[in-house]
Amino acid sequence: MKRSSLGLFLLMILAACSNQDTAMNSVVANLYPDQASVGFKQFSKQCSSCHRPPMPNQHTDLEWAGVIALMQQHRAQAGYGAMSDDIKQQVLQYLQKHSQQGESS
């Protein structure tokens, strides 16, 4: 009895989360810049496993370099494996091209 109500509770949470995700994705999907680029494709692939990919204008060039290094560690810790240098560069270039500095100056 206890077990099944816990199961139901978890299911409800899961359902709530996935609904929210779909709604979020459909709203946010149109807002990322330069979606046809290779950089964006790598970015959305490498950065969506653990959380919603961040908006590039959320950080400056310098900050992005730090965030990418930190995310490499998260990937390794979570068993995803680090990004190759090529892929890391593509993601970083995409983020920096549309970063806070890039847009405001």
| Minimum distance from residue 80 beta carbon to ligand HEC (Å) | 5
How far apart (Å, rounded) are the C-alpha atoms in residues 22 and 17?
9
Is residue 99 part of the contact set for ligand HEC (CB under 6 A)?
A: no
Looking at the Cβ atoms of 22 and 58, the one nearer to ligand HEC is 58
- Verify binding: residue 52, ligand HEC, rule CB under 6 A: no
**By the rule CB under 6 A, 68 interacts with ligand HEC:** yes
* Assigned token pair, 16: 């709530």
| Residues in Cβ contact with 52 at an 8 Å cutoff, skipping those fewer than 6 apart | 24, 25, 28
